[in-house]
Amino acid sequence: GAVVSQHPSRVICKSGTSVKIECRSLDFQATTMFWYRQFPKQSLMLMATSNEGSKATYEQGVEKDKFLINHASLTLSTLTVTSAHPEDSSFYICSARWDRGEKLFFGSGTQLSVL
């Protein structure tokens, strides 16, 4: 299967700081990438859809000014959690739609802990 790389895998930060998470498709071009949030024992919650070269589309209830998404190239999307607070602590996962069909491949996830 195709490979999606996500970094960092774990980050601990102080309240008020900003954190950037990178998501790269290593062996295919991804015109569409997705960002999810996952709480323990729960399913994936879609936060936003990003298309290369255009603004991200956010799901209802997701603050676009807090969760900045940039999809500047066909292989890289970034999620920046601005002015992070303890309630932003969660597991964040990116995914990329394969360029030869509808398959979706996921990164390994980032555990964010805000102190």
Partner 1 sequence: QKEVEQDPGPLSVPEGAIVSLNCTYSNSAFQYFMWYRQYSRKGPELLMYTYSSGNKEDGRFTAQVDKSSKYISLFIRDSQPSDSATYLCASSNQGGKLIFGQGTELSVKP
Contact residues toward partner 1 (CB under 8 A) are 1, 4, 6, 34, 41-44, 46, 49, 91, 93, 95, 102-109, 111
Residue by residue, DSSP assigns 74-97 as TTEEEEEE-S--GGG-EEEEEEEE
Minimum distance from CB of 96 to partner 1 (Å)? 11
The pair phi, psi for residue 86, each rounded to 5°, is: -55, -35
DSSP character string of 55-79: --EEPTT--TTTEEEEEEETTEEEE
Give 19 or 93: the residue with its C-beta nearer to partner 1.
93
Report the nearest approach of partner 1 to the CB of residue 84 (Å). 19
**What minimum distance in Å lies between the beta carbon of 113 and partner 1?**
12
Q: For partner 1, which is the closer residue by CB, 83 or 108?
A: 108
- Percent helix, percent strand, percent coil in the chain, to nearest 5: 5, 50, 45
Q: Which is nearer to partner 1, 80 or 91 (CB)?
A: 91
Q: Closer to partner 1 at the Cβ: 85 or 103?
A: 103
